[in-house]
Amino acid sequence: MPNVGPWEIILLLLLALLLFGAKRLPEIGRSMGKGMREFKDSVSGITSPESHVETHAIPEAVAVPVNDTDAKA
């Protein structure tokens, strides 16, 4: 089996850029990274869901004090 040299890697990167475009490549890399991380965690036996789960905080309602002088005006 022949070795993969730098010219082959450059050719594959250019081909991926032409096929998917510059906007999609970061999305593809991010999703592949998440998949590889999940696979590694499942193989190694890590079971804590807090380790790599993205959480989005829900903002609480902000209480605005009501001034009585504003209500009368």
- CA-based nearest residue to 42, from 27, 32, 52: 52
For residue 2, what pLDDT is reported?
Answer: 77
Give residue 35's pLDDT.
95
What are 6-62's pLDDT values in tens digits? 999 999 999 999 999 988 989 999 999 999 999 999 988 876 555 555 556 666 666
Per-residue pLDDT averaged across 57-68, rounded? 64
What pTM does this model have? Answer: 0.47
pLDDT of residue 44: 86
pLDDT at 56: 60
45 in helix, strand or coil? coil
